[in-house]
Amino acid sequence: MSARTFELANNNGITVTVTNLGCGIISLLVPDKDGNVRDVVLGLDSAEDYAQTHPFFGVICGRVANRISNGRFTLDGKEYVLEANDGPHHLHGGTDGFDKKLWTVEEVAVNKLAFSYVSQDGESGYPGKLLVYCVYRLTDDNTLRIDYRAETDTKTICNLTNHSYFNLEGHDAADIYGHEMTIFADKITPVDETLITTGELADVTGTPFDFRKAKTIGRDIEAVGGYDHNYVLAAPGTCASVYSPITGIRMTVKTNSPGMQLYTGNFLDGTVKGKGVAYQKHSGFCLETQFYPDAINKPGFPSPIVTADNPQEFYTEFSFSIDNKK
């Protein structure tokens, strides 16, 4: 099996290209307010390129997305040691995580792509054989829906997310500062200097993390050195909305995940090139719906544990519309 690409298209001019290598989104074409088509996700040139080291452009991260402190966790009294690929910490499943795997193609249709992957017991240091499914659907109401399911034969942990970098002005636009963002969350999980959650929940009121009323991403970004923080979602449903005044494109995000990581491409520095562009710092933003970072080591956080009797099922929806507000 080799890296391949597959296309979803709807009746309104939206086209999504997905690869089975990393189960990732390579491009997402959306018409703007003037009818011009914009590719609104950062990405690499071809499916084969996703085998190289890159900043997780558009891929599915796993077994456990985000960070696990010191690359260690304990389950039923046994300690498991994982690769430390982010300083002392484990990030996005390690250097050979789900983003580097060839997923099995289960179904290909005009508006649906279904993939699966079997992670064997001990892979990347994780216990238990894990079977994961990822299904992409594109509807004629301009919604790209991602459904995840994880099944195991032995208690383990799992936290899947899609790591697309969005820029509603086009993947080749200079930055995301002018995007107007709303996040429907009252709290974040604060982090230490190594970006590991402290175990606390912090109110966003009066801080640069408060997006409950729409504001530009650039307004407070320097005050926090760039966003790389998890928002606590109170209930399933709409969790974020982002709008570009330049293109008129609005993206609304819905999920039933307990958290959502806002990341603003802080570590992009022009060394990674794709689709004819050298991607620079803050040229894309991610809204990664997921469990809270380091949840397995923080008893008060929602648990990422999955068992044979309790598989995981989560969804994320990215809906696109044109907002002609002045």
Of the residues 90, 163, 171, 179, which is catalytic? 163
Q: Tokens 């086009």 appear where?
A: 170
Of the residues 123, 151, 169, 288, which is catalytic? 288
**8 Å CB contact between 269 and 29:** no
Angle subtended at Cα 14 by Cα 11 and Cα 176, rounded to the nearest 5 degrees? 155
DSSP for 123-178, please give it. GGG--S-EEEEEEEEE-TTSEEEEEEEEEESS-EE-B-EE-PPB-TT-TTSS-STT
What b-and-e string marks burial along 4-31, b requiring 16 or more CB atoms within 10 Å of the CB? eebebebeeebebbbbbbbbbbbbbbbb
Does the annotation count 151 as an active-site position?
no
Which residues form the catalytic set?
Answer: 163, 288
